[in-house]
Amino acid sequence: MLTNLETLQNQLRLNNMTRIISNFAYLDIRDNLTSKYIEDKLSEQYGSIIRWAIVSTDNQRLKICFTYEKGEN
């Protein structure tokens, strides 16, 4: 059986878990689209990027699918 302190510690650990989230972003094709540029832009907005891939393009922008870590506060 868990003590109240152990239960509280477990709840705090759960509240501080990191979530893995996938999302889409769009970047203007007119920008300097190197891999470093794309990674820097995604990192500026979302933090720790795990992976990314260009999934489609049109005349004006790239659609990028990416996965990142989001810490819970």
pLDDT per residue as tens digits for the range 26-46? 999 876 789 999 999 999 999
> Is the four-CA dihedral 11, 49, 42, 55 of positive or negative sign?
negative
Name the residue type at position 5.
L
Phi then psi for residue 32, to 5 deg, are -75, 95
Question: What tokens appear for 44 in the block?
Answer: 């500026």
Q: According to the model, what pLDDT value does residue 5 have?
A: 56
* 0.85 surpassed by pTM: no
State what percent of residues in the chain have pLDDT above 70.
Answer: 74
Where would I find the H helices in the chain?
4-15, 35-46
On whether the CB atoms of residues 72 and 19 are closer than 8 A, the answer is: yes
Coil, helix or strand at residue 51: strand
